[in-house]
Amino acid sequence: MLRLVTSRDQSYSELRYATLSHCWGAKLPIFTSKATRLDFQKCIPEDTLPQTFRDAVHIARSLDIPYLWIDALCIVQDDVDEWQNEAAKMHHIYSGSVLTIAASEAEDSTGGCFMRQSSLLSSSVNGRAKPVKETQDMHSNRNAYSSYEEALLDVPGGDSKVMVRVQSGAPWSIQRRKPLSSRGWVLQEQLLSNRIVHCMQSEIHWQCRRAYRTQAGQMFDNDTLLQDRHNFSWSPSKRRERTWCSWVEEYSTRNFTFIDDRVPALAGIANHYASTTGDSHLLGLWRKTFSRDLLWIRVNDIKGHPCPSIPSWTWLSCYAPIEIDPFTKNMFDEDQKEDHIVLQEGNVSWSGPPMTSKIQSTRLVISGPLQTLRLRVDPKAKAKANFPCLHFEGEELDETGSHLWTGIGQFDAEEPSPGEYVDYPCLLVRTRKRDDQGRFKEAFLILEEVVDASCYDSREEPPVFRRIGIACKRGVKQTFRSAKNMTIRLS
């Protein structure tokens, strides 16, 4: 009999349980609510479960795993306090499970974990088929979630044929293209789980700390994002820091049904990273790497507008794919970098558990070189990184009468109309010192004043700005060489 059990008196390490990672879809057929909780503690009728849940139950029972954690059933969905408290424990829930069952191919809870018998193209046969490369009868199937080639091959000594499907790409990239890996909530499940069985229509993949194996017999070292987590204990600090950037960049590409979930869905990953490094975070930025973390840039179109309570300085305020520190991240010589930002105050107040409840207020006070720059977006040119080129008033022209390429940047929202020069307050964050050609590279934030600075008494409250973009300028002279060091508040 299947039923809901309460585990408040037991730690996750004391229980032997599996977890399910799945796409909810537009509507979930069954979930625990205040009205159904007591009934589910007595019995959950298995014929009411959607196919994905049934398959997960079957897998857990087959492996003699006595408990199965499914978010929709194990969290009371209409109890706000319980939802916030349980969402804050995700790093314990998934890292403590014996196995995570990933319904990678299913776009909702009805899809199941396995290929249904009616979907099978052919059954296994005895005999030896021709190598795929020898057949001429091959075609490709490529869509958003799969990429493979199929070939219909003759079986020697018989009239039957066998369908051979060859997946293209590395195993990690194959399951990463599936519907499950497009979801924002799922990244923490993939990163924090010690063992994952990826259930796909073509085959099953196994992933653990040390290895990645396919049902077809392929074996690989686990060179995915998951491995980076387990290398923390012996990796240099810079590799750990770069791992966080990789996680954030991947996270920013993923989709959410509810845009306000972008902050709570990061809680498990952030809590795990904090426990491993001893650092503390401010909405996805870390105190030890704060200057670098400020240097995020939008790399694609905006998909929506997050909650207005999220401050402009965090990448969580921009619902779009982002990259962290694209201007200096590939520089391995730390002596060639100089950070100019000092974090004076950084606080986030929550209505309940951090990250999973509502933001009540934020306060970020920093100091650094501030200077007004007059610039415009080039109406035509794009730099190598595909970011808009920026022109700074007073720049020299080349022999053709065009502006020399000295700056690139990106506005966090849509870019302003190109052509006209506009004054922007700019805050220098990081400088790459003089290179072999005698040039500097200066990375800075483009700001907008929230309230006129002349209204403030600097002895009481610093002027308030909000971030609207980021840019980088290179040249033989430092643009911020005469900038005044100021203390400001970012909202």
pLDDT, mean of residues 178-197: 95
CA 319 to chain centre: 11
Residue 397: per-residue pLDDT: 52
Residue 440: per-residue pLDDT: 87
Residue 487 pLDDT > 60: yes
Q: Is 176 left (phi over 0), alpha (psi -120 to 50) or beta?
A: alpha
Q: Does residue 124 share a domain with residue 216?
A: no
Q: Does residue 360 share a domain with residue 244?
A: yes
Q: Does residue 154 share a domain with residue 261?
A: no
Q: How far apart are CA 233 and CA 239, in angstroms?
A: 11
Range of the domain at 97: 1-113+172-230
pLDDT, mean of residues 143-148: 47
Residue 420: per-residue pLDDT: 81
Sheet strands (E) in 190-258:
195-199, 204-208, 211-214, 219-221
Residue 224: per-residue pLDDT: 55
pLDDT, mean of residues 304-311: 89
Q: Does residue 463 share a domain with residue 359?
A: yes
Cβ atoms 441, 432 nearer than 8 A = yes
Q: Does residue 343 share a domain with residue 450?
A: yes
Give the residue, 400 or 217, on which the prediction is more confident: 217
Residue 228: per-residue pLDDT: 47
Q: Which of 114-123, 150-159, 340-349, 373-382 has the lowest mean pLDDT?
A: 114-123
Residue 203: per-residue pLDDT: 86
Reported confidence tier of residue 149, pLDDT bands at 50, 70, 90: low
Cβ atoms 489, 363 nearer than 8 A = yes
Q: Percent of the chain beyond pLDDT 90?
A: 56
Residue 72: per-residue pLDDT: 96
Q: Which of 212-226, 375-389, 392-406 has the lowest mean pLDDT?
A: 392-406
Q: Does residue 433 share a domain with residue 361?
A: yes
Residue 125: per-residue pLDDT: 38
Backbone φ, ψ for residue 379 (5° rounding): -70, -15
Collapse the DSSP code of 16 into the 3-class scheme (helix H, G, I; strand E, B; otherwise coil) and give the result.
Answer: coil
Reported confidence tier of residue 222, pLDDT bands at 50, 70, 90: low
Interior angle at CA 111, CA 105 and CA 113, nearest 5? 60
Residue 252 pLDDT > 70: yes
Give the residue, 149 or 489, on which the prediction is more confident: 489
Residue 236: per-residue pLDDT: 63
Give the residue, 154 or 467, on which the prediction is more confident: 467
Mention every residue, 6+ apart, whose C-beta is less than 8 A from residue 276.
229, 232, 240
Q: Which of 223-232, 374-383, 465-474, 482-491 has the lowest mean pLDDT?
A: 223-232
Residue 209: per-residue pLDDT: 86
Residue 299: per-residue pLDDT: 93
Q: Does residue 137 share a domain with residue 188?
A: no
Overall number of domains in the chain: 3
Residue 226 pLDDT > 80: no
Q: Does residue 122 share a domain with residue 97?
A: no
Q: Which of 50-54, 165-169, 195-199 has the lowest mean pLDDT?
A: 165-169
Reported confidence tier of residue 261, pLDDT bands at 50, 70, 90: very high
Q: Does residue 160 share a domain with residue 72?
A: no
Q: Does residue 45 share a domain with residue 140?
A: no
pLDDT, mean of residues 438-455: 82
Residue 82: per-residue pLDDT: 96
Residue 457: per-residue pLDDT: 53
Reported confidence tier of residue 42, pLDDT bands at 50, 70, 90: very high
Residue 230 pLDDT > 70: no
Burial class of residue 379 in the structure, from the number of CB atoms within 10 Å of its CB (0-12 exposed, 13-18 middle, 19+ buried)? exposed
Q: Does residue 434 share a domain with residue 343?
A: yes
Cβ atoms 65, 18 nearer than 8 A = yes
Q: What is the mean pLDDT of the chain?
A: 83
pLDDT, tens digit (0-9, with 9 covering 90-100), for 315-353: 999 999 999 999 877 665 667 889 999 999 999 999 999
pLDDT, mean of residues 209-227: 74
pLDDT, tens digit (0-9, with 9 covering 90-100), for 91-134: 999 999 999 999 999 999 999 998 664 444 433 433 344 444 43
Residue 136: per-residue pLDDT: 39
Residue 467: per-residue pLDDT: 98
Q: Does residue 255 share a domain with residue 220?
A: no
Reported confidence tier of residue 458, pLDDT bands at 50, 70, 90: low
Q: How far apart are CA 71 and CA 56, in angstroms?
A: 13
Reported confidence tier of residue 140, pLDDT bands at 50, 70, 90: very low
pLDDT, tens digit (0-9, with 9 covering 90-100), for 410-433: 999 877 776 788 999 999 999 988
Residue 223: per-residue pLDDT: 57
